[in-house]
Amino acid sequence: MDFKQFNLLEHKILQALDSIQALKNENVQLQERVQSLEQEIEEKKDLINELQKEHDSIQSNEGLTEREVYISNKIDEMLKRIDALDTEL
């Protein structure tokens, strides 16, 4: 191996080491990004669960409202019938 070949080998090794270091740095950044995204996903899951509970509660209240309307209508009907009886007497 002559001096020129040795310099070429050294240059290639240094390039490889630089590439390895750059890839390690990129890997660290990507791992941090993955961790951040995983945390964001968990927060979104929690929000989805909260919204689902709220949605279920609203649907339950809508059912209650329908029952209240039904009962109110029945009460009105009964009051009208009572009024009709009073006017007949």
Q: What are phi and psi of 2, to 5 degrees?
A: -90, 175
Cα dihedral 25, 30, 35, 40 sign: positive
How many domains, in total, are found in the chain? 1
What's the pTM value of the predicted model, to 2 decimals? 0.56
**Which is more confident, 67 or 25?**
25
What DSSP character marks residue 1?
-
The whole-number pLDDT of residue 89 equals 59
Name, in order, each residue with C-beta under 8 angstroms of 9's C-beta and a sequence gap of 6 or more: 1
- First CA to last CA distance, the chain: 127
pLDDT tens digits for 45-83? 999 999 999 888 888 777 778 888 889 899 999 999 888
Residue 2, classed as helix, strand or coil, is coil
Domain that holds residue 21: 1-89
